[in-house]
Structure 1
């Protein structure tokens, strides 16, 4: 399953530039969350081991799409002198919260039991309305190059 996740991530790494160009960032993020949620739903609904073993590939592809697009959305509006701080702040939040999420996920899995995959998919799908409030394109970069920046919705990641 780890190999499937890695292969899905590698295959998914080719998608973000054209997905963001074709769909825009917001829709690309919706696709990434939906793909991950659907992979959990497949595991819950069809617990046949060959299919379950392939679902981490779909999740891996969705996670890579999310990561590439969110990094682009975060870095574009950051002033060049602040980019390191913006990235560091994000990493503190991204890597500092798993110690809180792991016990919460364990408690959810304990309470939900075999239905934990349904709960995980529900949580992911429940986050989709939050993406509706997000801008589809990143803000203009700050600084003297702001006038030259692309503002088209179909930007590259």
Structure 2
């Protein structure tokens, strides 16, 4: 396994994850309602029996660190999965698109609902599904681009 490629995929995943994090936090500030990431974290905390704030409250700084830190760890882990599972010679766009869609399916269609963290994606409206699809496509392509750039450096 190419260590530079692995580091690049992780970096690409983190850059995309940071962009998504910024978008979610800005959305919270603008709308005055917790983001989907905050809702996921709170659902997990409730399942673990941890104290949770009222669902409508915006997260404080400590909760934001947990929410966004967890999201960035997942982004880094996904980057590592990309590097470990996708052939080094794969093109950035095709491999990034397939990976982004696979990651979206794994998280939103399978894992989240199975863990009881979110309602099944097929119950979401078209705008939500479209947004999730686009965000994960960008994530996949950024991860693939990071891997390719680092491998060729």
Do the two structures share a fold, i.e. TM-score over 0.5?
no
Higher relative contact order (CA 8 A, sep 6+): 2
TM-score, structure 2 length as denominator?
0.32
Larger radius of gyration: 1
TM-score, structure 1 length as denominator?
0.31
